[in-house]
Structure 1
Amino acid sequence: MDRRHFSTVDSLTHLWTTLGLPPKALGSVRLPDADALGLPSSFKIGNLAQSSIALTALLAALIHTSQRHRGAENGNDGDDDEDNDTAVPTVTVPLHHAVVEFRSERFHTIAGSHPGGGRPHSAVGGLHRTSDGWVRVHDIFPHHRARALEVLGCSADADREAVAAAIGRWRCVDLENTALEAGAVVAALRSYEQWDVLPHAKAIRDFPIQIREIGSDDDGLAAGRGDGSLGGWQERKSQQNSGDNSSAKALHGVRVLEMSRVIAAPVAGRTLAAHGADVLWVTSPGLPDLPVIDRDTARGKRTASLDLDLDTDAKADNPSHASARARGNHESDSASDKEILLSLADDADVFLQGYRPGSLAGRGLSIDALIARRRQKGIRRGIVCANLSAYGADGPWRARRGFDSLVQTCSGMNVSEAEHFSSARDDAGSTDGSAAPHNAGGVGTSGAGSAARPMPCQALDHASGYFLAAGIMAALYRQSQPGCSGYSYEVSVSLAGTMKYLRSLGQYPGNTGFQCDDYATMQDVPAEYLEERMSGFGLLKAVKHSATIDGVPVGWDIMPNPLGSDEPRWL
């Protein structure tokens, strides 16, 4: 779909109505500074940030209003649901606050210092020249770094020059494919023209949020249609304490079981927590702590550690595996931990996960398995299962590992961004995201004349997180309709799908999109966008949520703590 003409309001309207939500609620949205430049980029990051965050906040407001209306049904004046939609409280999302929140992992400090300060420059990660082009290597996890070094035939202590020399002997696509087979994470740098001819590019769906209802006769997994009575999160929300700030939030009573790492899926959980959901973030002691990211995305969540043996390679490379277990109060083996997790899923309203498609199915955590287990236990309530993947559930790349920076690299975004940045003509460059010649000149990774330039933030990660949260809330809203408490839904979002959506919005001509504030450092962020709270690591200063809802509290009541600090149970 060609969305080049979309304003930010158009984008929000398109997302909202395509999800089948009541159009009248859109009148409650305020978007200060909409359509101004957000961050320096040829891509319309401001449009994406403001519309995706507003989408989640408006959904939260809609659910809040809908539940409040139903709670007072016996004493109302006969207004129907359509009239009730007009009473959705005002939602406000300022543009500049939204784009700052799209960089939130960069703008937080613990006791005055960023958790990533002083880290040595990686010898492996980043952009490297090959014999015929470029590749980007991702090495945020130690086991990914180790696999990349093995593929390259480099020692564990190899410096960047040695790694560059080894990569320089490879053809870019050959290295990408060999790394895939070895469990490393590498992407070849492509132009739009090179990406668009790939079968997987054609397999990516046009709309970034996919919602599938589970339980129809066609699925053969009757989840139960419900009898119209309240259950699960709706019942818990109806019992809210009027004097409790957290219980007054829009998603109070919603239980979210989150299994995720890095940015996108954690942002989804963080967003649900900002609106009052009880988010229990379950991590594996086999995976390392990521302080640069986790201190930001863990806000609003309790954290429990369960040994599910999710990544044997990661566990082998993580010497803190045993000690990670000791950080929490819970002690048991992986077999009992699996049963604990399944029991948590039985009582969850939302299961949110960010692992590759199919990777959790063998552990009884597919949506079909979770629904079948509920049927066996006589649980009539439905569940919302939300999946975040790199490349989507369809196409030949569906099982590939991937991250924001790699999707930008392989899809042509980095090449196009570099070409726009280096353009000397304000009226030049592609404005529709169409194919452009690959710039083979230049040897840098950013700046005029370079082969590739990343976007100024992890826009695919953040937008995908908000899209996933929106899909979850849209499913909860459908589930909350009379007689629908037994419905289950599968919500799917991918970084590649978000990439395709952002590209469909078009690009600013030439280098005009770069002529705005960068918010390069935390000192550039307006004080009103920040908050200070005590965390389990010390005083945390971080970006506040950019959305507000009139008369409804929004924000995080729980600050980050060490992984595994909480018991694996629901409040």
Structure 2
Amino acid sequence: MTDLLASMQAALGLPTTPIPFSGEGALPSAFAVTELACASIAVAGQASAALICQQTGRLPPLEVDRRLASFWFATSLRPIGWSVPPMWDPVAGDYATADGWIRLHTNAPHHRLAAEKVLGPCLDRADMASKVARWNKTELEQAVVDAGGCAAEMRSALAWQAHPQGRAVSAEPLVHFAQTDEEHHKPWLGSVARPLAGLKVLDLTRVLAGPIASRFLAGLGADVLRIDPPTWDEPGVVPEVTLGKRCARLDLQQPDDRATFEALLKDADILLHGYRADALERLGYGAGQRHKLAPGLIDVSLNAYGWSGPWQNRRGFDSLVQMSSGIAEAGMGWKHADKPTPLPVQALDHGTGYLMAASVIVLLTQRLENGRGGSARLSLARTAKLLIEQGAGRRDVLRPEDANDQGLLVEQTPWGPAHRLQVPMKLMGTPLQWALPAANLGEHRAQW
């Protein structure tokens, strides 16, 4: 835990001081997943404490609950009388090829269509498996990617380290910070209880790291407005990640919606985005244009495979990065399994999400001091490198019922009532609390 926490603190420019952790229990894994959960939540809390100290002269004590951190890295929601839709498309998953394993990510309809463009229409998993089995894994991965889809062959950690993209990611920092020349002198409008009150966060992120970051910011009082394309949906995670936010839709191909987006951006303090590295540029909203529209903007972004190397613009998700980077292959050996064994939760997403939130708060603290905006870039693949370097995990079993004594809170959602777990971060005088329940995508108007 100490090395992992210190690495995150150093990457964020925070003091490498110990943070107390309470509670027992861990997620069983070949890797230190619970340690990643605790450390990433802790640095988000530490950044918050540093902001409060800058403004008040008092550094509030911080503590993180190991058990609750583990649960929040899976889900914080326990529906009462209803169920969250499945997270995965029926044919998404791992398949045996002629020479190994590959993962196909087909949750988005256009990603499934891309896979079927290569493989042919697939009725079900058995049909998909019979088609995949005829392919070489490397050739199929490339064919699906070329068709606009998402796929990753299972590689070992050594193979990934030798791969051009693995080498590129290894050379990148965990968080890449940069400051801008424009200035934005806005006073702190928050309080100890709500340190981010008065800040507008324009959230362009989707499954899953970015929404985790904006959920944390909303919990500290920020006004978060999430923007999605007209037809996008992610029903398996929406009840989990829209807590505290308003959710609207815009089509950035349409002139009227572009004008609305630009008006929103001009008034935003913080922009979060998780598009591929070249996507906003192709829409006409490259970094230069964003800062021209919103001088002093805090601009924090992530992608899957890093910001340099041949795959920097490749589509990717947590589960695919686990396959590419050696995590799923190492889990297979650790569990003595005959198929890829991923992490027990989408830990790369969650860990990167809290690191994003911490990066926002670090940049905000700097802006309050010098008036200058800034940017931070993170990637799932670089978080994977950090986790792999941390070493072995634990074989403890953390059961859902272990959370039942943690003071479950009732939340009234559009789908029905649900219990929301108590938060794992305890920052004295600054409770993480959300003014709005989780919401459907597109439920609100695109306005501050």
TM-score by length of structure 2 reads 0.94
Name the SS for the 2:144 alignment partner: helix
Aligned-partner Cα distance in 1 for 2:32–2:228: 34
Q: Which among 466, 486, 497 is matched to residue 382 of structure 2?
A: 497
* CA displacement 1:83-131 (0-9 Å, x = unmatched): x4xx311111111111111001xx52444222126x9x85521111111
Task: Identify if the C-alpha distance between structure 1 residues 506 and 277 changes in structure 2 by more than 3 Å, giving closer, same or farther.
Answer: same
Q: How does 1:98-109 map to 2 (within 5 A)?
A: 98-104=69-75, 107-109=76-78
Judged with a 3 Å threshold, the aligned counterparts in structure 2 of structure 1 residues 168 and 123 are, in CA distance, closer, same or farther, namely: farther
Gaps of 5+ in 2: none
| Equivalent residue in structure 2 for 1:210, among 160, 171, 176 | 176
Aligned residue in 2 for 1:191: 156
Answer whether contact 1:127 1:135 (CA < 8 A) is retained: yes
Structure with more strand by fraction = 2
CA distance in 1, matches of 2:287, 2:416: 38
Decide whether the 8 Å contact of 1:48 with 1:502 is kept in 2. Answer: yes
Residues 537 and 560 in structure 1, CA contact (< 8 A), matched pair in contact too: no
CA distance in 2, matches of 1:547, 1:50: 9
1:108-119 equivalence runs, <5 A: 108-116=77-85
Does 2:40 correspond to 1:52? yes
Shift of residue 530, structure 1, vs aligned partner: 3.1
C-alpha deviations, 1:358-402, integer Å up to 9, x for none? 10123333221111234xxxxxx5111111100011110111111
Asked whether 1:128 is paired with 2:95, we answer yes
Find the counterpart in structure 2 of residue 305 from structure 1: 249
Aligned equivalent of 1:21, options 8, 11, 14: 14
| Structure 2 partner of 1:551 | 429
Q: In the TM superposition, what whole-angstrom CA distance separates every residue of 1:272-315 from its partner, at most 9, and x where no partner exists?
A: 1111111111111121x222201110001111111224xxxxxx
Q: Matched residues in 2 for 1:277 and 1:123: separation?
A: 36
Answer yes or no: is the 8 Å Cα contact 1:256–1:277 preserved in 2. yes
Q: Is the 8 A contact 1:207 1:501 kept in 2?
A: no
Letter in 2 for 1:134: W
CA contact (8 A) 1:137 1:187 kept: yes
8 A Cα contact 1:529 1:546, kept in partner: no
AA aligned to 2:245 is K
**In structure 1, distance between residues paired with 2:208 and 2:90:** 23
Q: Structure 1 CA distance, aligned partners of 2:64 and 2:271?
A: 27
Bigger CA radius of gyration: 1
Aligned to 1:518, the other structure's residue is in SS state coil
CA deviation after TM superposition for structure 1 residue 193, in Å: 2.4
Matches within 5 A, 1:97-246: 97-104=68-75, 107-116=76-85, 122-155=89-122, 158-204=123-169, 205=171, 207-215=173-181, 223-224=182-183, 230-231=185-186, 234-237=187-190
Unmatched 5+ stretches in structure 1 = 1-7, 70-83, 216-222, 241-246, 310-333, 375-380, 423-448
Q: Is the 8 A contact 1:274 1:300 kept in 2?
A: yes
- Give the one of 218, 221, 225 matched to 1:280: 225
Percentage of matched positions with identical amino acids: 31
Q: Specify the SS of the correspondent of 1:405.
A: helix
> Alpha carbons of 1:537 and 1:129: their partners in 2 closer, same or farther (altered >3 Å)?
same
1:396 pairs, out of 307, 310, 317, with: 310
Q: 1:189-208 CA deviation, whole Å, 9 max, x = no partner? A: 11122222101101014532
- Alignment check: 8 A CA contact 1:391 1:398 kept: yes
CA contact (8 A) 1:282 1:304 kept: yes
Give the AA of the match of 1:96.
R
Please, what TM-score do these two structures have when normalized by structure 1?
A: 0.75
Please report the RMSD computed on the Cα atoms of aligned residues, expressed in angstroms.
2.0
1:533 to 411, 420, 423: 411
Q: Deviations over 1:449-507 (max 9, x none)?
A: 313211111110100101111111111111111xx21x121111111010001111112
Structure 2 distance, partners of 1:384, 1:260, is 15
Partner SS, residue 344 of structure 2: coil
1:364 aligns with 2:284: yes
Q: Counterpart amino acid of 1:212?
A: A
Structure 1 runs, 4 residues or longer, greater than 6 Å off: none
Deviation at 1:19, TM superposition (A): 2.5
Matched, 1:40 2:11: no
User: 1:274 is matched by which residue type in structure 2?
Assistant: G
1:62 shift after superposition: 1.6
1:185 Cα shift?
0.8
C-alpha distance in 2 between matches for 1:175 and 1:18: 36
SS state at 1:93 partner:
strand
1:207-260 per-position Cα deviation (integer Å, ceiling 9, x unaligned): 322211222xxxxxxx24x6xxx51xx3433xx6xxxxxx83121122110011
Paired AA for residue 31 in structure 1: F
Cα pair 2:238 2:440 within 8 Å, conserved: no
